[in-house]
Amino acid sequence: MQYDNSNRYNRAFPGWSHNNDGRLSEAAIIGILEGEGIGPELMAVCRLILEKAGACIGQRFIFHTGGAIGTPAWRGTGHWVTQEVEDFCRSIHYQGGAVLCGPGGGRFVYELRRRLDLFCKLVPLRPLATLNDIGPICPEARDGVDILVVRENLGGLYHGEHSDDSDEGYHRVRHCFHYTQPQVEAILRVGARLAQLRRGRLCVVYKPGGIPAISGLWQSQAHAICDDMGLTVELLDIDNACYQIIADATRFDVVVASNMFGDVLADSASVLLGSRGMSFSVNFSEDGFGVYQTGHGSAQDIAGKDLANPIGQIQSMILMLREHFDLESLAFGIERAMEDVLAARWRTRDICGPDCREVGTGRMGELIAEAACQRLME
């Protein structure tokens, strides 16, 4: 697999600039939020790979670990995101670092995005050819699929105002939400810039019959921005988009969606990857600061059992090396190593097909770290 260096997501954020132009940095600063459930196991794997692979080429990392997030934070403090964790993330940003984040439950992700102004979530959907033998989607339908879902993070249903007026057995709940023109324009411009860098195809997801006013805003802004940037835009109803992204995935390039629609669409389309454990993402602020994380949950039922698939978290780590630190050779070496291990049919349980060798979370990390050192020393 050859990576196209021109396809850099951070180029869509005008405020972002690289610090090292591809050279090894003296020490890359990484803030780790371990998360809950399987999070600590996944983070241990990522740290192992970074330390071993980095040592092979003389790249040093400085790790800082933040506090509890999600459900443990809520139980201890009554906050999904504590002030300590917010300050930790801002400190990492100030030092020129990036945050690698494990899964957190409840309203953690929504609150973190709001407090750090992480207005944009990018979800790459690029199935690995080495996993064509697993999952419910036939190999022919996944061949050549390369989709980037661009999701607006700070508006819409997930950040609306709500109330519960229930009284004496009568239940009435209320939820109001909105979008502003600047919010819609900002995310559409990111999607349009990325489409220009990729294959020039932009799809915007909406629902004109169900939410006509908000859909009208998205439609008018999409046409205005794409006309200005010389792009052709396709508009799809969310229900049709959910069907088409599975039935005819190769037709899509960049897909832009509102908060809830982007959530539903990206999670549904992760079936193209063969397992939800393969999904990953990054949340960006206007100036390109990123919080890199998986696209799946904390899987409390298998926590501590050495069963979790670490590949999604590893791919978010690779994305961090590439996008934030511009460490392309290291990112590419780990990426190739990951494919080597999968091609040798070492698999965690969720991606185990015929004639595979099942391994646990930790062993999968060790195998990828060993293969990365071999790749990087070639």
AA letter at 256: V
Q: Are strands 61-65 and 98-101 parallel, antiparallel or unpaired?
A: unpaired
Residue pair 270/295 in contact (Cβ under 8 Å)? The answer is yes
Closest CA to 46 of 61, 27, 68: 61
User: Would you state the structure tokens that stand for residue 47, as one six-digit string?
Assistant: 């740290």
Low-confidence ranges of the chain (pLDDT < 70): 1-7, 17-25
User: Which pLDDT score, from 0 to 100, does residue 18 have?
Assistant: 56
Q: Following DSSP, what letter does each residue of 30-66 receive, concatenated?
A: EEEE--STTHHHHHHHHHHHHHHHHHHHT--EEEEE-
Kindly report the pTM of this predicted structure.
Answer: 0.94
Same fold, 1-118+276-378 and 136-273: yes
Taking only the tens place, the pLDDT of each residue in 180-198 is: 999 999 999 999 999 999 9
User: Which pLDDT score, from 0 to 100, does residue 12 have?
Assistant: 87
Note the helical H segments in 81-151: 83-94, 108-115, 139-142
AA letter at 351: I
AA letter at 2: Q
Residue pair 253/202 in contact (Cβ under 8 Å)? The answer is yes
Burial of 245 (0-12, 13-18, 19+ CB in 10 A): buried
User: Which pLDDT score, from 0 to 100, does residue 7 have?
Assistant: 57
| Average pLDDT, rounded, for the chain | 93
**CATH homologous superfamily, domain 136-273:** Isopropylmalate Dehydrogenase (3.40.718.10)
AA letter at 100: L
Taking only the tens place, the pLDDT of each residue in 289-311 is: 999 999 899 999 999 999 999 99
User: Which pLDDT score, from 0 to 100, does residue 32 have?
Assistant: 98
Residue pair 226/184 in contact (Cβ under 8 Å)? The answer is no
Q: Are strands 173-176 and 161-164 parallel, antiparallel or unpaired?
A: antiparallel
User: Would you state the structure tokens that stand for residue 197, as one six-digit string?
Assistant: 């860098």
List Cβ<8 Å contacts ≥24 apart for 91-96.
91/31, 91/64, 92/29, 92/30, 92/31, 92/64, 93/289, 95/29, 96/19, 96/29
CA 225 to chain centre: 25
For domain 1-118+276-378, the CATH class is alpha beta
Taking only the tens place, the pLDDT of each residue in 86-137 is: 999 999 999 999 999 999 999 999 999 999 999 999 999 999 999 988 889 9
Residue pair 369/89 in contact (Cβ under 8 Å)? The answer is no
Task: Map residue 288 onto helix, strand or coil.
Answer: coil
Structural domain boundaries in the chain: 1-118+276-378, 136-273
With b for 16 or more beta-carbon neighbours within 10 A and e for fewer, the 304-331 pattern comes to eeebbbbbbbbbbbbbbbbbbbbbeebb
Closest CA to 295 of 312, 307, 308: 312
CA distances from 251 to 90, 241, 245, 255 (A): 39, 11, 8, 11
Estimate the share of the chain in helix, then strand, then coil, as percent rounded to the nearest 5: 45, 20, 35
Q: Which residues contact 96 (CB under 8 A, 6 or more apart)?
A: 19, 29
Alpha carbons 334 and 336: distance in angstroms, whole number: 5
